[in-house]
Structure 1
Amino acid sequence: MRGLTHRAVDRAAGMPPGTTSAYYRTRQALLAALVRRLVDRDQGELQGLGEEQPRPRSADELAAGIAAFVETRLTGDGRERSLARYACAVESARHPELREILVPRENAARDAVRDFLADRGVEDADGRTLTLLACVDGLVFDRLVGGGQVPVEEIQGLVEAALR
C-alpha cells in the first residue's frame, strides 16, 4: 500500500506525471478508486460466472465449482488481484470509508450457492452462504500468503458442514 502513489500510478500507466492527481486529488481518493475498481471487476466476474455455469446438482458439484474458481481465478490467474483485495481489506481497518465499498454484494455466483443450500432445506441459507464463502476466503488467504493448497476435499467439507 505504501507504493500506491499518484506518481507510481502515472508511471505504471505510462501517463504524464500529474495525470492521476488531476482525477484523484488525494491519496484517499486514489485508494477509494482502486477499491471500487477491484470490486467492480470482481462483481463482473462473479455475475458472469453465476450466469454461465449450470446450477450445481450435488454437494460434490458445488465443491468442485468453488474449487475450480479458487484454483483458476483467485490463486491462479487472479493471484495479484486477490492479493490487492486483501491489502485493501487490511487498509479498510484504518479507513472505514473503504469498508462500505468492500461490503459483500449480491451476485449470480453467490445466489447459486444460497439457492443450492435453500433448495436442500438449510435454515438461514443466507447466513450459511456467507459463512461458507468466508471460510473459502480464509483458505484462499492461507494459500496466497502461506503457500498452502486449497484441496477440493477441504471445500467439500465446508459445503457438507453448510448443509448440516
Structure 2
Amino acid sequence: MATDRRTSLADSALDVLADEGVRGLTHRAVDRRAAVPPGTTSAYFRTRAALLTGLVTRLVRLDQAELQGTAEQLPPLRTPGDLVDGLLLLTRQRLTGEGRRRSLARHACAVESVRDPELREILLPRENAGREAVRSFLAARGVPDSEHRAHTLLTCVDGLVFDRLVCGGDVPREDLEGLVAAALR
C-alpha cells in the first residue's frame, strides 16, 4: 500500500508542478491535490528534495512507458518519412493532454537538476524502444556514429517541444523533416 500511496503522491506532485511551477510545489499543495490529510506527503517524502526525487523518478517511469508504447504503435521505420511520422506522433503526445503536463514538469525538473546532481542522474536520457528505433534507423542507412546522431536528433526534438510549450502551437512537419535530413547527412 505504501508504494501505491507514494506513486499517487508523486502523480499529484507532478500535477502541482505542471500547474503551479517549482515555487508552487510544496508538501501542503501535494496534500491538497491528492485530497489526503495534511502531513501525508511529508510522511512519505520527508524533505522537499525527497519530494522532487520521488516526482522525477515517477516522471521518468511514465516517460519510458510512453516511449515504449509509441514505438510499439509505429510500423517499422523504413523511410525518412516513417521516422518523421514517428517523431510527429511523439511531439504531439508531448504537447497535448497528459503528455503536455509531463513536458511542463520535465522541463521544470531539468532546470532544477542543474543544481542537483541526484535529479540530473535520474533525468539522464535512458535507453528505450524509441531511442533504439531511431538509432537502428540511422545505423541501417550507414550514418556514422548513429548513437550520437540519434541522441542529437532526439535532443533537437526535445528543443522543438520546449519551444512549442513556451510559444504555443504544433511542431511543423517541415522542422522535423529538416532534422531527420540533417541526421542522415
TM-score range, shorter chain: over 0.9
Aligned to 2:103: 82
Q: 1:17 aligns with which of 38, 44, 47?
A: 38
2:95–2:170 contact (8 Å) kept in structure 1: no
Structure number having the greater helix percentage = 2
Aligned to 1:8: 29
CA RMSD of superposed structures (Å): 1.0
AA in 1 matched with 2:114: A
Structure 2 unpaired stretches of 5+: 1-21
In the TM superposition, 1:7-156 aligns within 5 A as 7-71=28-92, 73-77=93-97, 78-156=99-177
Q: 2:178 aligns with which of 154, 157, 160?
A: 157
What do residues 76-97 of structure 1 show as CA deviations (whole Å, max 9, x unaligned)? 1211110100000001112121
- Cα displacement (A) at 1:64: 1.4
- Normalised to the residue count of structure 2, the TM-score between the two structures is 0.85
Structure 1 unpaired stretches of 5+: none
Question: d(CA) in 2 for partners of 1:60 and 1:84?
Answer: 30
- Normalised to the residue count of structure 1, the TM-score between the two structures is 0.96
Question: d(CA) in 1 for partners of 2:171 and 2:43?
Answer: 42
1:50–1:108 contact (8 Å) kept in structure 2: yes
- Identity of paired residues, percent? 64
AA in 2 matched with 1:39: V
SS class of match (1:123)? coil
Greater Cα shift, 43-52 or 136-145: 43-52
AA in 1 matched with 2:96: G
Q: How many residues align?
A: 163
Runs of 4+ in 1 over 6 A off after TM superposition: none
AA in 2 matched with 1:161: A
1:142–1:148 contact (8 Å) kept in structure 2: no
Point out which structure has higher relative CO (alpha carbons under 8 A, 6+ apart): 1
